[in-house]
Amino acid sequence: MEIRVLRRLEEKNKANADEIRTLLGRHGVSLLNIMGSPGCGKTTLLEHLLPKLGERFRCAVLEGDLFTTRDSERIAALGTTVIQLETQGSCHLDAALVLRGLRELPLSDLRLVMVENVGNLVCPASFDLGETARLAVLSVTEGHDKPSKYPLLFTRADAVVISKTDLLEHTDFDTAAAERDIRKYNANVPVFTFNHRAGPSHQFTDWLLERV
């Protein structure tokens, strides 16, 4: 009986994700699903990206959090349209909540919506949000062993950003080992770097622009 219920939940999520894909297609909007541990730098990445992207086209952000609107306040301070998706304690975003968020946005004026998922290296990776691309963020302070210990997110990512490289010298993070492990699960995935002082590498911004 447990298995039947899980399947029903997955089917329901798939139906909502399909509806998101249809909605995005109709408006020509791309959706980036940003995932990673708590405090790995997802909001800081958005803070670096939004002013740059805003020169080219209009973006919006869906901010996933269990509680509080702290991250939304940081995004709103940049003048970007942001909607808080408060999961009320749940460990991931699902397609139903993202669909509700998208329906609140002026989609016909937008080119890109970035979803900041709940900080969690495990659960969000299992949920199809109807996204155009999935981004995994891994900070050097978490350690290079994390892709092997939490492989699902890296297996299904369209790109990986190694963040907080400005702290690299204070850690024993081995970038080559991390990349080698990531490529065991996802042979051709691009791996980019993100120095929190200087911003993400321009190769990452180029990769993102190609998805819009």
List residues binding a second copy (CB under 8 A).
1-2, 5, 8-9, 37-39, 65-68, 70-71, 89, 91, 118-123, 139, 141-143, 145-146, 148-152, 164, 167, 170
Q: Which residues pair with 192 in a beta bridge?
A: 161
Cβ 23 to a second copy, closest distance in Å?
26
Q: In what helix (H) or strand (E) does residue 33 lie, and over which residues does it extend? A: strand 30-36
Q: Which is nearer to a second copy, 139 or 193 (CB)?
A: 139
205: nearest Cα among 159, 165, 155: 159
Q: In what helix (H) or strand (E) does residue 74 lie, and over which residues does it extend? A: helix 70-76
116: nearest Cα among 140, 82, 160, 151: 82
Region of residue 56 (phi > 0: left; psi between -120 and 50: alpha; otherwise: beta): alpha
144 in Cβ contact with 177 (< 8 Å)? yes
Q: SS3 sequence, 93-130?
A: CCHHHHHHHHHCCCHHHCCEEEEECCCCCCHHHHCCCC
Region of residue 164 (phi > 0: left; psi between -120 and 50: alpha; otherwise: beta): left
Cβ 15 to a second copy, closest distance in Å?
16
Cβ 205 to a second copy, closest distance in Å?
24
Q: Which is nearer to a second copy, 5 or 187 (CB)?
A: 5
Cβ 92 to a second copy, closest distance in Å?
8
Q: Which is nearer to a second copy, 152 or 212 (CB)?
A: 152
Q: Which is nearer to a second copy, 141 or 175 (CB)?
A: 141
Cβ 200 to a second copy, closest distance in Å?
18
Cβ 194 to a second copy, closest distance in Å?
14
Q: Which is nearer to a second copy, 74 or 211 (CB)?
A: 74
Q: Which residues pair with 191 in a beta bridge?
A: 160
Residue type, 1: M
Q: Which is nearer to a second copy, 119 or 200 (CB)?
A: 119
